[in-house]
Amino acid sequence: MNGGGGDWLRPPAPGQFALRVAVLGGVALVMFAIIFLRLWYLEVLSGDQYLAQAQNNQVREFTVQAPRGEILDRNGKVLVGNRTALELQVKRTDLPASGKRRARVFERVGEVAGMTPKQIRKEIRQQTKENPASPVTLKRDVPYDLVYYLRENQGRFPGVSVERVYVRQYPQGELAAHVLGSVGEVSEEDLKDPRFDTLNPGDMVGQGGIESAYDSLLRGVNGATKVQVDARGRPTGGTLTERDPRPGNDLMLTIDADVQQAGQEAIASYGLPGGFVAMNIHNGALLGLGSSPSYDPSVLAKPFVSQADYEQIYGDPDDPASTLAAPAFNRAIQGLYPTGSTFKPITAVAALESGNLTTDEIINDSGSFPLGDGNVLHNAGDAAYGSIALQQALAVSSDVFFYNLGARMNEDTGAGGALQQWATALGLGAPTGLDVGGEGSGLVPSPEWRNQHFQENTDPDSPCGDQVCISKGELTDRPWSLGDNVNLAVGQGDLQADPLQMAVAYAAIANGGEVVRPHVGREVDDPQGHAIQEIDPAARRQVDIDPAWQQTILAGLHDAAMRPGGTSYAVFGGYPVQMAGKTGTAERPPNADQSWYIALAPYPDPKYVVAVTLEEGGFGADTAAPAARQILNQLLGVNEARIESVGSTEGAYE
């Protein structure tokens, strides 16, 4: 075949062949030159750098967790301690990037952990929502066999390890749960805070209560160990460097576990929400502070708290009513209520100090008090006590006597008169400064407050237009009137206070005017048991209370508790320790009455104040006073079994 199509079989001319060889040779020479230069760069210029990287690839650093300090009561009883546990953990950032390889790892982990890959993915997703770098705990308290197995097969489990951790434990169960708080993983936001600049993702910090307030003292400093590993990540046995962890400090509280237990049992026995406080009136040391219902803090020590467990303790975060009813809501420092007649000693101080009353002045209690607007107020039970002075008025809790004082001290402008000024000076209407925080402020109603909110309510831009409306208690339905101050004088109306605020106010009256700063921290001890810090905060302020007036008020409260005719005589008559106390029954429509009792003991030189309140508990003498008695028994060492009952509280109106 001689057609033109056979030209492709013809060999190249000699010149063309030589050109091709030259081009190929040049390309090969350039390639060899590049390779040579690269090798020279790696060996000569960057040799030390890559040698260090290679060595680092053979070293793995393990964090050695430091235990948090223990929390103890004033007598050394452990309230919060630690136990060690082995946790199967996954670090998301160390897992294979390949989806297929990651799936195989999950299958292998699932086989040894008794979990499905789907469950593992769910745990990783839930536990890394806030911080993707946090280690994920799949199982706690795994057997040692799993530790050895993973070490031998580390190459098949990248990103998976078993870590020894310290877990908070609560040997006293629910005792003081509201005081203690809990711990949890540091959040990504907290890691930006200078206070946590030494922490890493996955480290534990205090969350609420003592654990949070004293976190920097309780939290230790983690250690670290660098070990040699082989190409598959398995330790080869050589430890290069080691830094021991430094345990946290122990914290001794002012809380007395026995008093705390008595308080929790006392208020829980009624099956009603409530709170209590037991405090030293001279220095603010809290021997007991609790709320009912309570909860088991060990639930919050789990590696991951389920939504169901969270809502069972804290309530539904999207439902305010649910959170206010939840066990975590601390009614001792957050429950704000009208105080009823327990407010009357504060009214007495204000009237005496402002010149609106003398200790021996007689006021006629006819059983009723006309407001002047057509409304008439009456004593509880429609009682009438006749001509009485302050001491008897406190003993029988005459509303009419204190209505008169409220009217005398009424001022319808500004921050109000002496009643508002003294209530505020004694600690109401603001947080007490409790060291664990979390307090509410409360409210001492004044003309300024009511008038301001009434004006906002009737402003043309108000959501209700030109109609008067009340929205969640934030707006008022009318301006200030005489009746507001009259109501305040007996602890009713818009007044809001919690048991701790009332305890501080009574303490100031009983100790001569020192408004103490309540606290639960007492002493910080280092890990060797040496005291390194005493916690004794200074009083917030000193107010001047005439000693003669103080003694008259205390005498009235003593008569109320221990003399026939007193409002709590049926509860404390015959009590072996002389004491003083005041009942309170506050209206909270549409709810049933709020029950209150505040006790001072021993009398006439009190050392302790006990404040108790129970939601919908009815008369103070029926529920709050008996609960306070149980707490006093423990405080004062009284054997209840040897005390004969004086009688029932039937007929008591407070």
- Over the stretch 210-252, which tens digit does the pLDDT of each residue have? 999 999 999 998 888 777 776 655 566 666 777 888 999 999 9
Structure tokens at 125: 């997703």
Whole-number Å distance between alpha carbons of 260 and 635: 10
Return the residue matching tokens 């008093």.
Answer: 259
**Residue 450 above 80 pLDDT?**
yes
Band of residue 642 on the pLDDT scale cut at 50, 70, 90: low
How many Cβ atoms sit within 10 Å of the Cβ of residue 605?
12
Distance of CA 242 to the CA centre of its chain: 37
Dihedral, CA of residue 391, residue 395, residue 400 and residue 406, to nearest 10? 60
**CA gyration radius, the chain:** 36
* pLDDT tens per residue across span 392-423: 999 999 999 999 999 999 998 888 999 999 99
The helix/strand/coil state of 399 is helix
Whole-number Å distance between alpha carbons of 288 and 333: 12
pLDDT computed for residue 196 by the predictor: 84
pLDDT computed for residue 371 by the predictor: 93
Q: CA-CA distances (angstroms) from residue 502 to 172, 479, 574?
A: 28, 27, 26
Whole-number Å distance between alpha carbons of 346 and 599: 14
| Residue 227 backbone dihedrals phi, psi, to 5 degrees | -125, 155
Band of residue 556 on the pLDDT scale cut at 50, 70, 90: very high
Band of residue 360 on the pLDDT scale cut at 50, 70, 90: very high
* pLDDT tens per residue across span 113-151: 899 999 999 888 888 877 777 788 898 899 988 988 988
Whole-number Å distance between alpha carbons of 380 and 397: 9
Band of residue 57 on the pLDDT scale cut at 50, 70, 90: low
Band of residue 374 on the pLDDT scale cut at 50, 70, 90: confident
Tell me the HSE value of 280 on the side-chain side, using a 13 A CA sphere.
15
Whole-number Å distance between alpha carbons of 635 and 179: 19
**Residue 461 above 70 pLDDT?**
no
The helix/strand/coil state of 229 is strand
Structure tokens at 424: 């505020």
pLDDT computed for residue 231 by the predictor: 64
pLDDT computed for residue 469 by the predictor: 45
How do beta strands 135-140 and 160-169 pair?
unpaired
Q: Sheet containing 274-280: which strands, arranged edge to edge?
A: 286-292, 274-280, 608-614, 591-601, 580-588
Quick one: residue 277, left, alpha or beta (phi over 0 = left, psi -120 to 50 = alpha)?
A: beta
pLDDT computed for residue 344 by the predictor: 99
* pLDDT tens per residue across span 482-538: 999 999 999 999 999 999 999 999 999 999 999 999 999 999 999 999 999 999 999
pLDDT computed for residue 202 by the predictor: 77
Structure tokens at 144: 């040692």
pLDDT computed for residue 472 by the predictor: 43
Strand partners for 249: none
pLDDT computed for residue 23 by the predictor: 65
**Residue 52 above 60 pLDDT?**
no
Return the residue matching tokens 């009983």.
Answer: 510
Q: What is the DSSP letter of 624?
A: H
pLDDT computed for residue 648 by the predictor: 58
Assess whether the previous peptide bond of 479 is cis (omega < 30° from 0).
Answer: no
User: Which domains are delineated in the chain?
Assistant: 60-154+161-253 (3.90.1310.10), 257-333+564-642 (3.30.450.330), 340-542 (3.40.710.10)
* pLDDT tens per residue across span 86-123: 999 998 888 888 889 999 999 999 998 899 999 999 88
Bigger pLDDT: 456 vs 365: 365
Whole-number Å distance between alpha carbons of 426 and 576: 30
DSSP 494-543: T-BB-HHHHHHHHHHHHHTSEE---B-EEEEE-TTS-EEEE--PPPSEE-
Secondary element (H or E) of residue 572: helix 569-572
Whole-number Å distance between alpha carbons of 285 and 263: 16
pLDDT computed for residue 8 by the predictor: 44
